[in-house]
Chain A
């Protein structure tokens, strides 16, 4: 029928094109809007997808000079980096312990770890918010630095666990026979071999912290302490008016690099995911 006339390949391309348009057109628009002149933008009759008036970098200047966006960026990066460090320190040894040393307990605890990840921030944010106040961390990025590992650590431990299990154990045992203590074998053999997995969890930890919204919203109200996800959606307003172009600019500046990195690490992520999820 249709297939025979157009060929399977064409149908494929058609389907893919539809999905690509669906996924990407908001970003296409965000890109255009970044440089749109306000007079052009706020005319409903104007074609929104082209420049009816020449493009301008005014919105970018506004974004970087007159809003707290640079502060949002810096805060996001600081939170991301520190949370990554904390996560690695906690999750890498834990993953090894569960993958290699804990026997059948390891399996069960690993599943338990994963279940903890399934407890959503939206369940805990109210008591968390109280905890943050009690610890005196309200309105500081420290609140996020302390709390975010509660979801990055379980996820990364589980992911790394699956990854480490896929590394054959005879290389570590060889190191034991070759004259190293278990600790020495971990450091000199397992750790180098696990680097790809560690790299993957660095990437995903960073992006997980960037995505987080409700904790950031609940913990921090001071403007210059906000991160991108909360800052862009709540701060780029004057009164009732959104700085639309700047908001779009703010968004696309963040979205594109992250998507590029996701694309690069996707295969690794899938490998870890299927190792952990389907094979339990």
Chain B
């Protein structure tokens, strides 16, 4: 049963349509990520689900109830803001206890729950401190503890990792996902970081211009992107796009390899690749260059794992191969994914 469902959700601010028709369902215990660049409408969508913004059109259902007219406090959701929004004038204990006090629980009840939540995130020793005395990571845990303490139906997390140091982020990602698994809470997670999205999401919704471009598992999004936006938003470096006649060919950097190495390709497409720059990054090499045997000359990137020790030098042209089954095809005008198009292609002559 879907715990959260939005139907035709729209939000207009003046003449700007921030959210333009979003349909989502989040299943019980699922971790759904809203991924997109700044201003795409993902945070606005989350705020509407939380009840902090009123939709211009559309409906929101939580646990089967239509919640459009309910204020946040009646929706049984918990939210963690990007800034953590800890109450600066209260101790950590009181911060975590705050939602429980709203429920008018007994003091003992509150103490038990606060200690449970604090224990879960290992902040029991910080209960008497004030937020300004905590580090970024500690504040995040307090915000999370405060969110779980009410045992809500839905967790709403708005870019909770973006304020952490890059080094902490990977660790925090892992911990967060584990907590979520442990608690089994249905979670909606908003981020602009595609690594976070791919790493944490059970399903990911890629959002742009107030609309969902594609909703699917990370594998589906990566292997079969629904349009060029999704294709170039995911992956680092993103998918290469080459225009050919009326369509656009797409292939990931790790799928275009030197011919000698890519010997097992089912249906090889040979491309002459003129390398202009080589980046040595340890675990892999990025080769920047141009292919011009398919469509117009286009700059692309190839990512070669370190296991491939072939010598590649800038300035030379090499014979590279892409397996045709690794190709994605997009319509040139609509940018949407289309079925594979057969095309003639002369393997380019390799000049020396």
Do A and B touch each other in the complex, judged by CB within 8 A? yes
Binding site for B on A (CB under 8 A): 168, 170-171, 173-182, 184, 189, 192-193
B301 within 8 A of A: no
A185 to chain B, nearest CB (A): 9
Q: Which secondary structure characterizes the binding site on chain A? A: helix
- Residue B81 contacts which of A173, A179, A184, A189 (CB distance < 8 angstroms)? A173
Closest 5 CB pairs of A and B: A179-B102, A174-B85, A178-B99, A176-B72, A170-B85
Query: Which A-chain residue is minimally distant from B47 (CB atoms)?
Result: A173
Kindly identify which residue among B72, B77, B83, B102 contacts A170, using a CB–CB cutoff of 8 Å.
B83
Residues of A within 8 A of B103 (CB): 179
Chain B positions 53-102 with a Cβ under 8 Å from a chain A Cβ: 71-73, 77-79, 81, 83, 85-89, 98-99, 102
The interface residues of chain A lying within 8 Å CB-to-CB of B81 are 170, 173-174
Task: A178 to B328: give the CA distance in the assembly, Å.
Answer: 46
Per-position binary interface string of chain B over residues 168-179, scored 1 when its CB falls under 8 Å from any chain A CB and 0 otherwise: 000000000000
Bound CA–CA A168/B50 (angstroms): 18
Per the bound structure, the CA–CA distance linking A178 and B77 in Å amounts to 8
Specify which of A171, A176, A180 is in contact with B51 (CB 8 Å cutoff): A176
Chain A residues closer than 8 Å to B50, beta-carbon distance: 177
Q: Name the residue on B nearest A193 (C-beta).
A: B89
Nearest-CB distance from A19 to chain B (Å)? Answer: 38
CB distance from A15 to the nearest CB of B (A): 39
- Contact indicator B102/A171 (Cβ below 8 Å): no
| 29 A-B pairs whose Cβ atoms sit less than 8 Å apart in the complex | A170-B83, A170-B85, A171-B86, A171-B88, A173-B52, A173-B79, A173-B81, A173-B85, A174-B79, A174-B85, A174-B87, A175-B87, A176-B51, A176-B71, A176-B72, A176-B73, A177-B51, A177-B72, A177-B73, A177-B77, A177-B79, A178-B78, A178-B99, A178-B102, A179-B99, A179-B103, A181-B71, A189-B87, A192-B89
Interface size on B, residues (CB 8 A): 23
- The interface residues of chain A lying within 8 Å CB-to-CB of B78 are 177-178
- A167's nearest neighbour on chain B, judged by CB, is B88
Q: Would you call B150 and A171 a contact (CB within 8 A)?
A: no
Q: How far is the CA of A177 from the CA of B46 in the complex (A)?
A: 12
A184's nearest neighbour on chain B, judged by CB, is B102
| Cβ A181 vs Cβ B88 within 8 A | no
Known contacts A177-B78, A177-B79, A179-B150: A171-B52 contact under CB 8 Å: no
Contact partners of A171 in chain B: CB under 8 A? 85-88
B250 to chain A, nearest CB (A): 39
Most A CB within 10 A of own CB, among B50, B51, B89, B156: B89
Residues of B near A184 (CB, < 8 A) are 102
Task: Give the shortest distance, in Å, between A168 (CB) and chain B (any CB).
Answer: 7
Smallest Cβ distance from A105 to chain B, in angstroms?
14
CA distance A189 to B101 in the complex (A): 14
A91 to chain B, nearest CB (A): 21
Q: Does any Cβ of A come within 8 Å of B203's Cβ?
A: no
- Say if the beta carbon of B274 comes within 8 Å of chain A: no
- Distance between Cα atoms of A177 and B71 in the complex (Å): 8
Report which residue of A174, A175, A182 has the largest number of chain B beta carbons within 10 angstroms of its beta carbon.
A174
Given contacts A178-B146, A180-B102, 6 further A-B contacts (CB under 8 A): A177-B50, A178-B73, A178-B98, A181-B71, A184-B102, A193-B88
Give the distance in Å from the alpha carbon of A171 to the alpha carbon of B146 in the complex.
13
B94 to chain A, nearest CB (A): 10
> A176 contacts which chain B residues (CB < 8 A)?
51-52, 71-73
In angstroms, Cα B103 to Cα A182, docked, is: 15
Task: Give CA–CA (A271, B303) in the complex, Å.
Answer: 54
CA distance A235 to B77 in the complex (A): 67
Min CB gap B142→A, angstroms:
12
In the complex, A176→B51 CA distance in Å?
9
CA distance A174 to B50 in the complex (A): 10
Q: What is the minimal beta-carbon distance from A197 to any residue of chain B, in angstroms?
A: 14
Q: How far is the CA of A214 from the CA of B113 in the complex (A)?
A: 61
Complex interface bits, B140-170 against A, C-beta within 8 A gives 1, otherwise 0: 0000001000100000100000000000000
